[in-house]
């Protein structure tokens, strides 16, 4: 039962254009969403997040959009740069029975930005 | 910023032996650390939540006797894979954070290969 889904395993974009990475979730109890960037053999690096009370959060070239009714979020990168090439994970935040935060990750989308 | 150090970055061990992985928060105290496992082209799966001074909380399907977690101090959590088998070969990552929502910092991960 995959609660967070990233249906596109890969995406290829030309430098300077917009990259749009999509993520869907099924559990309406999630109230915080995050995007992480990961290079091979490294741990994920936090990129940007959004609370469920918002529908947009912007940080420089990165913007995350949340559509709660559709249980869908997306990450927009504009303009895309070759250094953005990595695997991007969508994560949703909920709470464990013990009261600590738990992140549920999607399978990731490998973004390649071509020069 | 929050720094999480994970050691070793890779390890090869013989089947039947045990391996210990360390996760340290270098510039902050972490009452809670998380241990994840990632198979190739799969998402990061939460294995357990490590709580300082108390027993870890394991996710469903994770054998607590096989994956021993110790969180004896506010800056160190260890994961010991006991009696390792080839199917335990995977990428193990820890995370910790200062704030309660989302922006947890991940370690660089440990590539375990059991031969």
Chain B within 8 Å of A48 (Cβ-Cβ)? Answer: no
User: Are residues B63 and B56 in contact, defined by beta-carbon separation less than 8 angstroms?
Assistant: no
Tell me phi and psi for residue B101, to 5 degrees.
-120, 105
Which of B1 and A33 is assigned the larger pLDDT? A33
Q: Answer yes or no: is pLDDT of A98 > 70.
A: no
C-alpha span between A64 and A82 (Å, rounded): 20
Report CA B53 to chain centroid distance, whole Å.
Answer: 16
Identify from A46, A54, A108 which residue to disrupt to test chain B contact, counting B C-beta atoms within 10 A and taking the largest count.
A46
Chain B within 8 Å of A26 (Cβ-Cβ)? Answer: no
pLDDT in tens, A43-75: 899 899 999 999 999 999 999 999 999 999 999
Q: What is the pLDDT of residue B43?
A: 84
**Side-chain half-sphere exposure of B70, counting CA atoms within 13 A:** 7
Separation in Å, CA of B66 to nearest CA in chain A: 21
Q: What is the pLDDT of residue A62?
A: 98
Question: β-pairing, A72-77 with A19-25?
Answer: antiparallel
Q: Answer yes or no: is pLDDT of B101 > 80.
A: no
C-alpha span between B6 and B110 (Å, rounded): 7
Residue with tokens 């994956």: B67
pLDDT in tens, A10-23: 999 999 999 999 99
The answer to whether the Cβ–Cβ distance between B102 and A32 falls below 8 Å is yes
Tokens found for residue B8: 């070793």
The answer to whether the Cβ–Cβ distance between A32 and B101 falls below 8 Å is yes
pLDDT in tens, B50-90: 888 888 989 889 999 999 999 888 899 999 999 999 999 99
Angle formed at CA A42 by CA B89 and CA B13, multiple of 5 degrees:
25
Q: What is the pLDDT of residue B8?
A: 96
């Amino acid at each position: 039962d995959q609660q967070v889904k990233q249906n596109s395993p890969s995406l290829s974009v030309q430098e300077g254009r917009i990259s749009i990475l999509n993520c869907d979730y099924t559990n309406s109890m999630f109230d915080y969403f995050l995007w992480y960037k990961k290079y091979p053999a490294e741990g994920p690096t936090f990129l940007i997040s959004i609370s469920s009370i918002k529908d947009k959060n912007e940080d420089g070239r990165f913007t995350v959009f949340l559509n709660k009714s559709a249980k869908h979020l997306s990450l927009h990168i504009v303009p895309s740069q070759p250094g953005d090439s990595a695997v991007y994970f969508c994560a949703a935040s909920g709470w464990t029975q013990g009261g600590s935060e738990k992140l549920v990750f999607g399978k990731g989308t490998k973004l390649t930005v071509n020069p | 910023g929050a720094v999480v150090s994970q050691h070793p970055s890779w390890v090869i061990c013989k089947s039947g032996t045990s391996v210990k992985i360390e996760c340290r928060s270098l510039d902050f105290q972490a009452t809670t650390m998380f241990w994840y496992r990632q198979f190739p082209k799969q998402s990061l799966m939460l294995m357990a939540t490590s709580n300082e001074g108390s027993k870890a909380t394991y996710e469903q399907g994770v054998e607590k006797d096989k994956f021993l977690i110790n969180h004896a101090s506010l800056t160190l959590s260890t994961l010991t894979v006991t009696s390792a088998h080839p199917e335990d070969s995977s990428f193990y990552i820890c995370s910790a954070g200062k704030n309660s929502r989302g922006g947890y910092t991940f370690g660089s991960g440990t590539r375990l290969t059991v031969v």
